[in-house]
A = this chain, B = another copy of it.
C-alpha cells in the first residue's frame, strides 16, 4: 500500500463489457486501472506500483499466463488473481504454477472475489509488533518515536517514521530515492524530499544510523569498511 488511501489494483481484461463492469464492482475498494490487452498489462505491471492484479486468461497481444510468467521473471512479486472462464483443473494448475496466487472462474460471485482480493492484499501484522532495532535505537511500532538504548526518546513525524521504517525493513540493503519515494510518499514528489528527511532523521537520531551510498541511495546498517 503506497499511502493511506485505497489499494491500487491493475485489471487486465479484454472483454469490452465485463472489463468496465468488474472495474466498477471493485471501484469502492480499490483504485482500479483497467487495461485491455496483455502488452499494456505487462507495461503497467512493470512500471507501476500495484497492490494486487486481476488478469484474464485469454488476452489479445499477450496471453494471461505469458503475462504472469513475464512479470514474475522480472521480479514482480505483486499478488495476482486469475479471473477467467477456463475452469478445468488443468487450467487452474497451469495458471497457479505460472505464478498466480489465486484462480477464480467466471461466472464468479462478487462477494467471493472481493474476499479473495482482501485475502491477497491483507498485510498480516502480528498483534504485538516487536520494536525494530536500528543500531543503538529502537523504532516504536507506531512509527512515531524512537528510543535510544539509554532511555532517551525522540518523537518523529509521520514521514520521518515511515522513511526510517522502510530503511529498517531491510538492513544492509541500499534503497534508491525512487524506491523510498514509492514506499513512503505518493511518488509524485521530488526525489530531493528524501534528502531533507534523511537530514531530519540524522539530526534527531545519531548521524551514523543512515549511510549514504553515493550515486545510489541510502542504507541502514553495515558500514562498509
* Chain B residues within an 8 Å CB radius of A216: 142, 144
Find A119's partner among B90, B101, B116 (CB 8 Å cutoff): B101
Q: Within 8 Å of chain B (Cβ to Cβ): is A39?
A: no
Q: Specify which of A72, A119, A152, A225 lies most central, judged by the most chain B CB atoms within 10 Å of its CB.
A: A119
Encode A197-225 as 1/0 by CB contact (under 8 A) with B: 00000000000000001111000001011
Q: Within 8 Å of chain B (Cβ to Cβ): is A118?
A: yes
Q: Which residue of B lies closest to A110 (CB)?
A: B89
| Contact of A96 with B109 at beta-carbon distance under 8 Å, contacts A77-B124, A142-B174, A225-B154 already known | no
Q: Within 8 Å of chain B (Cβ to Cβ): is A97?
A: yes
Contact B75 A126, beta carbon cutoff 8 Å: yes
* Chain B residues within an 8 Å CB radius of A92: 109, 111-112, 115-116
Q: Within 8 Å of chain B (Cβ to Cβ): is A59?
A: no
